[in-house]
Amino acid sequence: MIQNYIKIAWRNILKNRGYATINIVGLAIGLACCLLIVIYVQHELSYDKYHVNKDRIFRVVHDYKEVGSTEQHQIWGNAPIGEALKADFPEIEKIVQFSGQTSILLKQGENRFQEENVFFMDSTAFDVFSWKILAGNPHTALKNAYSVVLTESTAKKYFGDQNPIGKTIEGGLAAGRADAGLYTVTAVMADVPANSHFTFDALLSMSTFRKGRPDVFEKEGWDYVDFYTYFLTSKEFDPTKFNQKIPDFLKRHIQVHENASSKYGFHLEPMLQAYMHSTADRQPGTTGSFQNLYIFAIIGGFILLIACVNFMNLATSRSMERAKEVGVRKAIGANKSNLILQFMSESLVLVFIGGILAIALVIAFLPFMEAFSGKQFGYSTLLNGTTWTIFFLVTLITGILAASYPALILANFKPIKVLKGTFSNSKGGTLLRRGLVVFQFCLSIALIAGTVIVFSQLNQLQQQDLGFQKAQRLIIDYNFDEKVNNNLEAIKNTLAKDKDVQSVTASRTVPGAFFPNAGTEIMSTDGKMTNFAPSLYEVDIDFIPNMGIKMAAGRAYSRDFPADSAHSLVINESAAKLWGYSNPQDIIGKQFRQWGKEGTVIGVVKDFNYLSLHRKIEPLALRLEPSSSRYLTVNLQNVNQQTIDRMGKLWAELAPHRPFLYSFLDDNFNRQYEADYNFRRLFTAFSSLALFIACLGLLGLVTYTAQQRTKEIGVRKVLGASIYNLVLLLSSDFIRLLVIALCIATPLSWIAMNKWLDNFAYHIEPKWWMFAFAGFSAVLIALVTVSFQTFKAAKANPVDSLRDE
């Protein structure tokens, strides 16, 4: 019987190639999208799970509470907490600390590269993390000062196919610290897996850092921030009990001043939450978005549902063609279960073919998925047993769900009515099909509206007035080089002589790049010196005018005031409010103390978005300290390759020991939104596919409806109906259904997208026209789909349909 069922199923597919193709293609696209999203979700949820002791690794999250502001949490913190935790808590087996991400110029022979992704790391790193060592001893590789561990790709970049162990590589100053020298390669490790919450290209020994700055590791160094602290716990470790001991730990190690304006604390975070669930600032690497993951999972479900709805719609709408077959089978003894099994078998054959086509589509489009998402999956992902299990279950469940209702409908036909010719489609079946069409296009319209809102929000990011000028700013990164900083004014003046250069400035950071915080005391409104830790920009005298930053009160740094270099400070409006001054003019002339400098506040700049628009503008101090600079910002009148080439030649003359590393400020700043742009590309692609699948199903329904009403169309044409009247007649029912779908989809998509927009401190408000556009687009696309087939039916010769009995 099974063989007979499959044979009949195959004959029906060949007999109705058009409908079978629509069903198979729709299901294949739905299953392919679902599999691609499963691969993406699996990848996002797999971060850091390759570590052997992943469940026992925790990290310290530092908590800072300033008076009058919300509590801030960041991973970046002090060094002494590591040794203190290890000494006080026996349940902590290993502590590993590493510095903030470091940029360092490494040279080996003729090979010279500025490495941006480097950390100073404790020697216990390989006892805690499960990174694979290819050569060298993992337990001693980072023990001695001036030791370096290279990843496999970095080792090949400098040494080719040679064995680098024991060889030396020259390191320049890393972030301005006194750690230049010859580093000995003590180990080579495999490249860090892509599914790690932080990655690197080389590790320098923390003992090198200690040699340059021993003071920050002492008991008094709790205020110096430049380290990440992770630790491995015993198997009996209880995070709840540990958290209860933290207050006593802080009392033992930190002296709290009664008049302190800020409160320090910390809590633990499992490493497995670092990528997807951490909300703390100053992460050692990138973080994911669980909300976006959730959205993609929902979209995958939507697409699969739309494909299933297509299947059910087409199967039930064609039930009349199978009615006599069912009647005959029942009359000769077939029972209900036999018929259900037969029609389920036919449906599962279609699903099986669709599944094979889906796999082919995934193999073909996986590279595009990688490009869209910014992730590296590789074809090896398809060999994952979990992926195949999920795909098999999804395909099987899809086939059963999509086939069950049509099979039950067909199996319930009454043979007497069918064979007498008195059987007809029920009103319930018609209502069901209409309801499914509404459901399909409700999802499609919601996805279109979501796409419009995502595009609008990301366009807003591009067009938002940031409070500074980022266009045509060439950034030259010389990584705190002392020779450059010692000759800064001469270099600036030489670059400024170029015909396309309007101005040049130097600074430690630029908008969108890393910056530190600085403990700063300013006289508050009550006349007391109050300490906060605003963000810090160390700049030269030309920074504010070069960046086009406007003043809210007072003045910018000026060469006309020599005292500015030692006794003046400029802050932003948010910093003035932090110290209690709602009117920025009122803080001008107030006393300040910051990192060895004392003097008065001379100016307040208007707030500018030096952070991404995901976050509100935070308090900022702009300290005049050109000797701490890392970047030169060249304001260009014309940006072209000739200008860049001239800048490169000038740089080679001015700083021959430094590579010409340049970028543009707008590109650097927009890089903060890379994850958002990837989200937009994926959202748009999957939304388009959902709409395409819905239109496929609509095309099949319209084609079938037109065939069922062939004689009616013929009679109407004979009686004088125009092609326009007939197209309108056949299309109007579907358009009404789309209008209903629009009314349902609008509030649902409005609620969902408002939640997504909450991720941005500065975001658009969804407008009515966005939903109107989504509805109009869906109606237009559906109308084109419907009209093509209805026009074809309306144009047919009525004689052919009326003489056919």
Q: What is the mean pLDDT of the chain?
A: 85
Q: How many CB atoms lie within 10 A of CB 607?
A: 23
With 70 as the cut, is the pLDDT of residue 69 above it? no
Structure token digits, residue 791: 């026009």
With 70 as the cut, is the pLDDT of residue 597 above it? yes
With 80 as the cut, is the pLDDT of residue 3 above it? no
- Domain-by-domain residue ranges, the chain? 2-44+289-459+675-802, 56-273, 479-660
Q: How confident is the model at residue 257 (pLDDT cuts 50, 70, 90)?
A: very low
The pLDDT score that the predictor gives to residue 259 is 44
What CA–CA distance (Å, rounded) separates 456 from 453? 5
pLDDT tens digits, 83-108: 999 999 999 999 999 998 888 889 88
- Which of the listed ranges 191-200, 307-316, 714-723, 729-738 does the model predict with the highest average pLDDT? 191-200
3-state DSSP assignment of residue 664: strand
With 70 as the cut, is the pLDDT of residue 506 above it? yes
What CA–CA distance (Å, rounded) separates 185 from 304? 52
Of the listed ranges 13-22, 179-188, 246-255, 789-798, the one predicted with least confidence: 789-798
With 80 as the cut, is the pLDDT of residue 786 above it? no
Mean pLDDT of the region 151-179: 83
Of the listed ranges 375-384, 609-618, 789-798, the one predicted with least confidence: 789-798
Mean pLDDT of the region 206-219: 86
Q: How confident is the model at residue 30 (pLDDT cuts 50, 70, 90)?
A: confident
What CA–CA distance (Å, rounded) separates 780 from 772? 12
With 60 as the cut, is the pLDDT of residue 392 above it? yes
The pLDDT score that the predictor gives to residue 792 is 65
With 80 as the cut, is the pLDDT of residue 348 above it? no
Mean pLDDT of the region 767-774: 87
Q: How confident is the model at residue 776 (pLDDT cuts 50, 70, 90)?
A: confident
Structure token digits, residue 546: 């070069």
- List Cβ neighbours of 638 (8 Å cut-off, separation of 6 or more): 500
pLDDT tens digits, 106-126: 988 888 898 989 999 999 999
The pLDDT score that the predictor gives to residue 156 is 95
Going by DSSP bridges, is the β-strand pair 568-572/597-605 parallel, antiparallel, or unpaired? parallel
Residues facing 408 on adjacent strands: none
With 80 as the cut, is the pLDDT of residue 341 above it? no
Of residues 39 and 785, the one with the higher pLDDT is 39
- Residue 193 and residue 178 in contact, taking contact as beta carbons nearer than 8 Å: no
- Which of the listed ranges 218-222, 258-262, 637-641, 718-722 does the model predict with the highest average pLDDT? 637-641
Read out DSSP for 368-415?
HHHHHHT----GGGGG-HHHHHHHHHHHHHHHHHHHHHHHHHHHT--H
Mean pLDDT of the region 240-265: 78
